[in-house]
Amino acid sequence: PLKRPQPAPAAAPASESVQDIHVPDIGSSGKAKIIEILVKAGDTVEADQSLITLESDKASMEIPSPAAGVVESIAVKLDDEVGTGDFILKLKVAGAAAPAAPAQAAPAPAAKAEA
């Protein structure tokens, strides 16, 4: 087969999208109380980092972030009662999920002049 040059994916400017983060299925039909908010607007979070802690009549649980990004705004406050699907916060997610490679690569060791 002929190898056609693959068009390089256009290096789009770090397009950001804002995701609405909701309470995942917390298993009970009831509500759970927010006992801890672990992030604030402007915080950078990693995927799976805990955002809030909920306490239901059965257990307390931390709600993890589904993606890495920056917290844009938080829609809940301490002692709010939330249930599955409730809106927690807005997370600004960089378009390219890949970590941006530093533009300046370290100078290649081959550049050393041999005496």
- Whether residue 41 lies inside any domain: the answer is yes
- Mean pLDDT of the region 62-68: 95
Mean pLDDT estimate for the chain: 81
Tell me if 108 is assigned to some domain.
Answer: no
Bigger pLDDT: 90 or 5? Answer: 90
Residue 48 lies in a domain: yes
Q: How many folded domains does the chain comprise?
A: 1
HSE at residue 106, side-chain half, CA atoms within 13 A, is 3
For 36, the domain range is 27-93
Tell me the CATH number at 81.
2.40.50.100
| Structure confidence by residue, pLDDT tens digits, 1-23 | 666 666 555 544 557 799 999 99
